[in-house]
Amino acid sequence: MRNWILITLYISSITIPEMSKPVVRPSIISHNIHSQSEDAQETDKFMTRLRDVKFSGLIESSMWTLTHDYKDSKQVDVVLNTVMRYLEAFTKYEQGDGSSLKQLGGTKQLKGQLAIWLNDNDQAVRAFAATMLGISGDHTYAPQIAKLLLKKEQTSDHILYDRGRAALALGILQAKEYSKEIVMLLSSTNEFDRSGAAQGLGWMGNKEHAKAVAQLLNDGDENVRAAAKYALEMMGASELIKDKNEEEDL
């Protein structure tokens, strides 16, 4: 359909370690020339997080949603083409050539563009932007992401899911100042709110909300139950899962 397959391949080349190739790719952390600059440190951090396997599933799912649940195909093309250019520039940067990335304005410009997309009319774009900003690890964007938590349910039959993605992104950013707002989503009638909130709290690792998340182990939605279980494991509260299983066996 568009460049999303190529983008997925680019992301895979970044996130999956090259185990079989004899040529050793230069480490982005060992760029002595670049590492002294703030821009290079920002880029190294972003690429390191892109490479982290714990984010690979989130990137793939966000990309899938972006390319399958859009409303404006032209806008999605703009997003995909922009991401494609940056991924190509990241690849060159990793090989020691930072010129392309510099021409694009660097990693800071990419994050700024993602922040702009948080206000896009297409929620597939908003959800993608929130997830990628969360993965970037830049807490300064937390207030902008948190604004998505205030979005009202649409009147059409197209259910909102960007609030849940925002809750997840805030969790990845460890933006615990928004814990109260995220906890409120656990009781939402929207299953995407509930699963996203559970995952967000799980990423924060705060056991204070473990019992509230554990209530979702009985949720009517399978994905919400799975999210709650995963969140409790991340919190180190697996005993609540065991307790729930024992109750069911009685």
Quick: pLDDT tens for 49-62: 988 999 989 998 99
Nearest one of 116, 119, 118 to 105, comparing CA atoms: 116
64-78, 103-117, 152-166, 170-184: least confident range: 152-166
- Element (H or E) spanning 214, and its range? helix 210-214
Position 18 confidence tier, pLDDT thresholds 50, 70, 90? very low
pLDDT above 90: residue 102: yes
**Over residues 132-139, mean pLDDT:** 97
| pLDDT computed for residue 144 by the predictor | 98
User: Residue 116 pLDDT > 90, yes or no?
Assistant: yes
C-alpha span between 184 and 172 (Å, rounded): 18
| Residue listed under structure tokens 């991340």 | 234
pTM: 0.86
Contact 83, 7 (CB under 8 A): yes
At 17, the pLDDT band (50, 70, 90 cuts) reads very low
Task: Give the distance from CA 32 to its chain's centroid.
Answer: 29
Higher pLDDT, 8 or 219: 219
Number of residues that this document lists for the chain: 250
What phi and psi values does residue 249 have, to the nearest 5 degrees?
-80, -20
CATH superfamily for 141-153+160-250 is Leucine-rich Repeat Variant (1.25.10.10)
Q: What is the CA radius of gyration of the chain?
A: 19
Helix (H) and strand (E) counts in the chain: 15, 0
pLDDT digits (tens, 9 = 90+) for 218-232: 999 999 999 999 999
Q: In whole angstroms, what is the distance from residue 38 CA to residue 171 CA?
A: 25
Higher pLDDT: 243 or 13? It is: 243
Residues 164-196 have pLDDT tens digits of: 999 999 999 999 999 999 999 999 999 999 999
Inter-residue contact 120 to 129 (CB < 8 Å): yes
